[in-house]
Structure 1
């Protein structure tokens, strides 16, 4: 069986959707004011600076430490993060739709308040089933996302044996990578997601040593070293994905 040497994953930089979602939640609005479809939401100015901080982190790595390939979600905010972070580096980039964000179906663009107000039955069903297994109409559960991520990891290991692979994706994807690589169960995953919401442009990584060994998780040290690229306020476990 083929195996990777190292896996890293970075959440995209702050998007204009992240800003709009935070504003809508603070105001108690039902809807998030975003004109673009989810796949076309761009980075904010802060998100671009955060991606530049990732570029600095990559530039400081030795040739042996740098990734051999970077695999990116096809969404605009992840592509922009990758373009900024990898500028000037000769690292091949691949896009894979299996890294896309979790799809929310009819709940898309609704705040937590809006879901409770407009979809009370769905809110109750989600509460009963739990976030891991709840699938909104037309959308995906976390378990659904896991199916495509397991497929992706198998293919990547086959295509890049004993290589160092960096992924650039979304917050739920980062959490689910940890679930797969560290063998978490549902309770451990939800506890981790609640205690440590994934920050924009945070870095998580694992190395293979007979099993996957976590090196860092949700690390924002590279952002804290750059005052212009401060970590974005982290989202709660019930926040919409943007």
Structure 2
């Protein structure tokens, strides 16, 4: 079985986060739910570039996507550009990690607005800490394990999803430890990057060399 994971293209949330951190703000100031955040025009071009990367390769036998708009848009644009059938299946287990009370906040906003939880996170570590009303990394890993157990044992599976999900796929598929995956997590998963496993062996990870 071949497994290809694509992170969504640049989203308006990505741009807002970068701007908020640069300005020293405590919040991103987004007016929509995380699930409704769309791609930027650059993100759409990145998704088309993914389609160009996929074109000429054998078409996927199964396409799955997070239900979040930015991932769905990426999958649909990529499939159309590659000339593949538009058939895809939405699976909620591929959604981004729920940050609960931390949603929409910058790191400084979390420190100031939730000092006790910030201290608790520092003690428990990023992997196990669950923000109030949100998910820990291990919570996401559990839903991904159930998804992986249902995937076909052969064929080519293409998945459009989010950065934390891609990191945790690697954690599960490669049988990593907490320390190993948290070290890997320090590397930013690029927008529209591609990661690929064949028979459980990593072939590509976080590759965006095809983007101009």
Fold shared, TM-score > 0.5 on shorter chain: yes
2:198 corresponds, among 202, 207, 210, to: 207
Alignment of 1:105-144 (within 5 A): 105-144=100-139
CA deviation vs aligned residue, 1:27-70 (integer Å, no higher than 9, x gap): 11011011110000000111001001001011131x3xx32111
1:72 aligns to what? 65
- The total of aligned residue pairs comes to 210
For 2:36 and 2:139, the matched residues in 1 are separated by 22
- Contact kept, 8 Å, 1:8 with 1:165, in 2: the verdict is yes
For 1:118 and 1:112, the matched residues in 2 are separated by 10
2:40 aligns to what? 44
Show structure 2 runs of 5+ residues with no match.
Answer: none
1:91 CA displacement: 5.6
- Contact kept, 8 Å, 2:128 with 2:137, in 1: the verdict is yes
1:219 aligns to what? 207
Show structure 1 runs of 5+ residues with no match.
Answer: 227-242
1:166 CA displacement: 0.9
For 2:103 and 2:137, the matched residues in 1 are separated by 15
For 1:103 and 1:204, the matched residues in 2 are separated by 22
RMSD: 0.9
2:175 corresponds, among 152, 173, 183, to: 183
